[in-house]
């Protein structure tokens, strides 16, 4: 049975969601972990009293079972844990059976750690098609895209942090955004996120997770 970790506002199933309807909310999302920098990121978020959604893989940069304590910490500290597939494939290139397998394999890993699994997910590479959404809908998943991609994976050096911050800043004042970052990159966690938090605090908007985007 599908169990959601957080369910606050109505969000449709099997439909790609690109932004939040709550204009005072900015959904902070992090892909591809857990990894070495995820716990320091949790420290930063705790210090700012902000929440985030973590779209995690079963086996990508690391094996999820090696970061059991990090996943449990996310839940205990009030963050949203979500799926990013087991192995980070391009779902648009897979047939229905393999899309389902990518999701159910990760569900099994979540159950080993938490006794349940989330029903929010983000397709790797933000790549999906009508078949992908059909399968995800049948599995009961809310599909989260983004309207602010910081491209932090392209700007992994400290001198380039301004480029990612600029992408964030240009859309921040619109409100109701879903921001994409990656907790696998040191530059993101140590340099970009503190600046993102600072701008959020100055704007008066709340850094929250995707369940607030109904």
Instruction: For residue 205, give its domain range.
Output: 16-212
Query: Is residue 1 in some structural domain?
Result: no
On whether residue 8 sits in a domain, the answer given is no
**Residue 178 forms part of a structural domain:** yes
Q: Is 6 a member of any domain?
A: no
In angstroms, the CA 51 to CA 65 distance is 23
User: Can you give the pTM of this predicted structure?
Assistant: 0.93
Tell me, yes or no, whether 174 lies in a domain. yes
Let me know if residue 158 belongs to a domain.
yes
CATH number for the domain that contains residue 203: 3.20.20.370
Q: Is residue 7 part of a domain?
A: no
For residue 88, indicate whether it is catalytic: no
| CB contact burial 71-101 (16+ within 10 A = b; e otherwise) | bebbbeeebbbbbbbbebbebbebeeeebeb
Catalytic residue among 31, 32, 152, 183: 31
Q: What pLDDT is attached to residue 9?
A: 55
Is residue 3 assigned to a domain? Answer: no
pLDDT for 168: 95
Tokens for 135, please give them.
């399968």
Residue 11 buriedness (CB in 10 A; 0-12 / 13-18 / 19+): buried
pLDDT value for 214:
63
| Predicted pLDDT at 1 | 36
pLDDT at 213: 75
Contact 78, 112 (CB under 8 A): no
Q: What string of pLDDT tens digits covers the 214 residues of the chain? A: 344 444 445 688 999 999 988 888 899 999 999 999 999 999 999 999 999 999 999 999 999 999 999 999 999 999 999 999 999 999 999 999 999 999 999 999 999 999 999 999 999 999 999 999 999 999 999 999 999 999 999 999 999 999 999 999 988 877 789 999 999 999 999 999 999 999 999 998 888 889 877 6
31 catalytic residue (yes or no): yes
CA triple 44-48-54, angle to 5 deg: 55
Instruction: Give me the catalytic one of 79, 84, 155, 182.
Output: 182
Domain count of the fold of the chain: 1
């Amino acid at each position: 049975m599908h169990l959601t970790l957080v369910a606050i506002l109505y969000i449709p199933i099997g439909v790609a969601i690109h932004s939040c309807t709550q204009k005072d909310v900015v959904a902070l999302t992090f892909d591809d972990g857990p990894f070495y920098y995820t716990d320091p990121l949790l420290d930063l978020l705790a210090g700012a009293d902000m929440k985030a959604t973590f779209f995690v893989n079963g086996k990508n940069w690391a094996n999820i079972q090696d970061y059991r304590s990090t996943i449990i910490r996310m839940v205990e500290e009030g963050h949203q844990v979500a799926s990013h597939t087991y192995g980070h494939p391009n779902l648009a290139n897979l047939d229905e059976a393999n899309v389902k397998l990518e999701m159910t394999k990760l569900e099994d890993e979540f159950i080993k750690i938490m006794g349940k699994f989330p029903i929010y997910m983000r397709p790797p590479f933000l790549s999906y098609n009508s078949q992908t959404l059909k399968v995800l809908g049948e599995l009961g998943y809310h599909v989260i895209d983004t309207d602010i991609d910081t491209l932090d994976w392209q700007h992994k050096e400290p001198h380039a942090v301004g480029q990612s911050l600029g992408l964030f800043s240009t859309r921040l004042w619109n409100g109701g955004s879903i921001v994409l970052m990656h907790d696998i990159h040191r530059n993101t966690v140590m340099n970009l996120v503190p600046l993102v938090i600072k701008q959020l605090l100055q704007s008066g908007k709340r850094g929250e997770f995707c369940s607030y985007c109904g």
